[in-house]
């Protein structure tokens, strides 16, 4: 059985750089090693591209395409700060979550 990494659902716009062109796509989910994008056309498995996160530009390759969905695999695992930027979280949100009670409500 193949291990599947935890993926976080997202719904945000990202910029993909492919052959010098900047293309807007929707990020649907993300993990340390890959992501699913919607709206990225004209690519096929093996295509090389880069995500522009302003402070870093992780390189990736297309793993699969299905309709308007595209799965990408990062060349290296994303750092915690890159993941947080893509997931739209902050350290403060992570601290609040970690200190939440059993029902995930923060105790006062």
What domains lie within the chain, and their CATH numbers? 8-78 (2.40.10.220)
For residues 63 and 73, what is the distance between their CA atoms, to the nearest angstrom? 6
Check the CA dihedral 44-34-84-9 and report its sign: positive
At residue 93, the pLDDT reads 47
Structure tokens at 48: 């090389």
For residues 50 and 63, what is the distance between their CA atoms, to the nearest angstrom? 14
At 67-104, the pLDDT tens digits run 999 999 999 999 988 888 877 754 444 444 455 555 55
For residues 20 and 35, what is the distance between their CA atoms, to the nearest angstrom? 21
Q: What is the pTM of this model?
A: 0.76
């Amino acid at each position: 059985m193949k291990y599947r990494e935890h993926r976080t659902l997202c719904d945000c716009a990202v910029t993909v750089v492919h052959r010098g062109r900047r293309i807007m796509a929707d990020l649907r989910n993300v993990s340390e090693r890959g992501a699913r994008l919607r709206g990225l056309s004209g690519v096929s498995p093996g295509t090389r591209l880069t995500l522009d996160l302003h402070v870093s530009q992780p390189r990736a390759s297309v793993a699969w395409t299905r309709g308007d969905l595209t799965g990408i695999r990062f060349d290296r695992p994303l750092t915690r700060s890159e993941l947080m930027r893509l997931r739209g979280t902050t350290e403060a949100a992570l601290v609040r979550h970690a200190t939440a009670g059993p029902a995930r409500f923060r105790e006062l």
